[in-house]
Structure 1
Amino acid sequence: MTNMVNPSLGHAVIDVLERHDCEVVIPTNVQCCGTPHLAYGGYGDSRPFLPGHNIKLLLDAQPDFIVADCATCGGTLKEYDKLIPEAETFTKKVYDISEFLVNRLDIKLGSKLVEAVATYHDSCHLSRGQGVTAQPREILKSIPGLVFREMPEADRCCGGAGSFCITHYDVSSLILDRKIRNIKSVAPDIVATGCPACKMQIEHGIARHGLAIRVFHPLELLAQTYKDG
């Protein structure tokens, strides 16, 4: 999703990691994490190919850590050992990017101010799936010039839920409208979220309501602090 829909996030993540003295290796031919197959009951189809293929390809790069900028992908990678028991060594290396920066590194900030009011939406796959909630907020609160405001029901689903927003659009829209009301209540300039699917869904809701609010991954905002050099 990052590669096809929001490549600027991928560039931001690489920039941030390199500024934290990390060597970033991106193996070619890594396949989908397998979430769509698993969500539609394709356990047998996903097990022999996707996890096995990705595990081999990523471990062949001999990484110390495996970092994902997509909440859904990260959550699935962390559960590969449920599909392939011998994958435990692999799953122990997997981190969400916000989790990795806060838990394993000391956040390095640039000098440029990001003068805006931001709130944060907890994606289901990051908060409920991985238990990563404090780390993205810590990153946002550390960004110079950024004012953070917690919205009500920040961890309530935005209604995206993969293809649910397409197959059940009317119900999805009602869920999304509640999320937009909660966002509006704190009057932000920016909504931050760690899930590209949530980003698309919230952007759709913002457009429907005619709001001048932008949606970013927390790492994109952190990367903006380096723009002065």
Structure 2
Amino acid sequence: MAVDVDTRENMNMEPNKQISNPDCSTAGVSLLNKFDMNEIMNCMQCGFCLPSCPTYRQTGKEVASPRGRIALMKGVAQEALQVNHEFENNMYLCLGCRACETACPAGVPYGSLVETAREVVETNKKEQSKSPFIRDIVFNKIFKHPKRIDTLGTALWAAQAAGLQTLADKTGLVNMLPRPMAEMQKAVEKVASPAERKKRQKIVKPADQPAKLRIGMFKGCIMDVMFYETNQATSRVLAKAGCEVIFVDDQACCGALHAHSGEKDGAVELAKRNIEVFEKADVDFIVNNAGGCGAALKEYHHWFHDDPEWKERAMAFVTKTRDANELLTELPQIEFKNSLDVRVTYQDSCHLAHGQGVRNQPRQLIRSVPGVEYVEMINADSCCGSAGIYNITNFDMSMRILDDKMENVKKTKAHLIVTSNPGCLLQMKQGIIRAGMQDEMEAIHIMDLLDRAL
């Protein structure tokens, strides 16, 4: 079937040239039914999204823009294009930052569209038995099992405690790793020991006042391993604000990694587990401190559009879900004891700003800390290039975006770069190292900043 004129023009294709690949066949009708044509057709092709898109700014290519990708989705959904390697590469070049949603005058839900496109890609590969073995390990054997993630965290702690990370750096053995992993490990700080993690109080209560609210802490999977202390700091800050904080047992990964990687069934399975455990916890609010996790948690109801019973339960879960910044600004202001006397800038988490619409609250909290001189960064809400595992799977593009971000960071002359997402935090730490600014600047999660001031 020939490519329609609109699709061809938006892809900058030659008149008679079609994207094709002999290794990939056109998806079946049932597979293409996953696309929401109403939302695809809502894209007016106006181009307001182009300046906001990090990959379009880096490449200048139409297929690397939201508008171009939607044109590709339209071509596939209408069976004018194949679900092939080129389609896959264009869908996965996207960071999923959703800045285009903020810019879009028509309110096109691009984030859900690109998730569907990736689901179509992965489903098509599975039907052809071409899904890589490593995907099964990551998505089914690891991230569905919190205890296994905890075990990996223990292995990382053991390697750090034995000095293997330092030894690998000094001897150059680290360079045997793929470059993305070799560079990223420099930004990874010491993880909490198993003994320290076992000491956690499951319930953290206010010390000097009756509890106003009963909070269920969504601790995340990687977050609770790599940034255990940030979760602890969050519980202390919430307790200071008058909340009883409960680390609910048996919670699972939020499902964002699965949803963003085309593994929708896995995302739904994890969502059901979380909905069930927090229903039993009987809390007033479900609070998280990771912008990416929070965006997924707040969109659980969209994952059950064809399941009325679970959609209702998911909606109840979503209604209770808050980002920590969001809830803290709804409560009486905390009285901080320490003056920090630092110059601070803020790097927006894409999924917190564009996905959840939480922008002013973190800035309000930062400004409330005694001794903080706050300076706004140019394009603070542009993506830093982290985007989940994008800085591993698309390393070169990620680093180009990060290096551009660091130019804006430098202009602030800040001592601290504050973030609200673990991926952003690791990426900004890596950016500081790449810029050679370790002696001048530190990247820190906002909950750790507030905890320091307590």
The bucket for the TM-score relative to the shorter chain is: over 0.9
Higher relative contact order (CA 8 A, sep 6+): 1
SS of 2:357 mapped into structure 1: coil
Question: 1:45 matched to which residue of 2?
Answer: 266
What residue number does 1:156 align with? 382
SS of residue matched to 1:38: helix
Greater radius of gyration (CA): 2
Alignment of 1:71-220 (within 5 A): 71-84=291-304, 85-86=311-312, 87-102=314-329, 104-211=330-437, 212-220=440-448
1:142-163 deviation line (CA, Å, top 9, x unaligned): 1000110001010110011122
Show the counterpart of 1:55.
275
- Contact 1:114–1:221 (Cα < 8 Å) also in 2: no
2:232 equivalent to 1:11: yes
Match of 1:33 among 254, 279, 292: 254
Q: Give CA deviations for 1:64-93 in whole Å, capped at 9, x if unaligned.
A: 000001111111110111113121111010
> Separation in 2 of the partners of 1:189 and 1:41?
39
SS at structure 2 position matched to 1:185: helix
- Once the two structures are TM-superposed, the CA of residue 213 in structure 1 deviates from its matched residue by 1.1
Mapped to 2, the partners of 1:168 and 1:44 lie a distance apart of 24
**Which SS does the other structure have where 2:332 is aligned?**
coil
1:109 offset after TM fit, Å? 2.3
The CA distance in 2 between the partners of 1:171 and 1:217, in whole Å, is 24
1:150-180 CA distance string (max 9 Å, x none): 0101011001112221122111111000110
Tell me the secondary structure at the aligned position of residue 24 of structure 1.
Answer: strand
Which of the two has greater helix per residue? Answer: 2
Q: Secondary structure at the match of 2:244?
A: coil
Read off the aligned partner of 2:236 and give its amino acid letter: D
Cα RMSD between the aligned structures? 1.0
Does the aligned pair in 1 maintain the 2:255–2:266 contact within 8 Å? no
Letter in 2 for 1:215: A
TM-score computed with the length of structure 2 as normaliser: 0.49
Residue 299 of structure 2 aligns to which amino acid in structure 1? E
Letter in 2 for 1:75: A
Q: Secondary structure at the match of 1:112?
A: coil
2:275 alignment partner AA: I
The CA distance in 1 between the partners of 2:366 and 2:352, in whole Å, is: 16
Q: Give yes or no for contact 2:252–2:273 (8 Å, CA) kept in 1.
A: yes
Whether contact under 8 Å (2:344, 2:418) holds in the other structure is yes
Counterpart pick for 2:286 among 66, 90, 99 = 66
SS of the residue 2:243 aligns to = coil
Q: Note the C-alpha offset of 1:46.
A: 2.1
Q: Deviations over 1:186-206 (max 9, x none)?
A: 100000010100110111010
Code of the aligned partner of 1:27 = V
2-structure distance, mates of 1:154, 1:127: 10
Unmatched segments (≥5 aa) in structure 1: none
TM (norm. structure 1) is: 0.95
Once the 2 structures are TM-superposed, how far is the Cα of residue 184 of structure 1 from its aligned partner? Answer: 0.4
Question: Displacement, 1:21?
Answer: 1.6
Structure 2: tracts of 5 or more residues without a match: 1-221, 305-310
Moved more, 80-89 or 200-209: 80-89
CA distance in 1, matches of 2:374, 2:266: 43
- In the TM superposition, residue 111 of structure 1 has moved relative to its aligned partner by 1.5
Which of 111-120 and 79-88 deviates more? Answer: 79-88
Aligned equivalents of 2:393 and 2:293: distance in 1?
A: 22
Partner Cα distance (2:373, 2:421) in 1 = 21
What do the CA deviations read for 1:27-69 (whole angstroms, capped 9, x no partner)?
Answer: 112110001111111112221x211110010121101000001
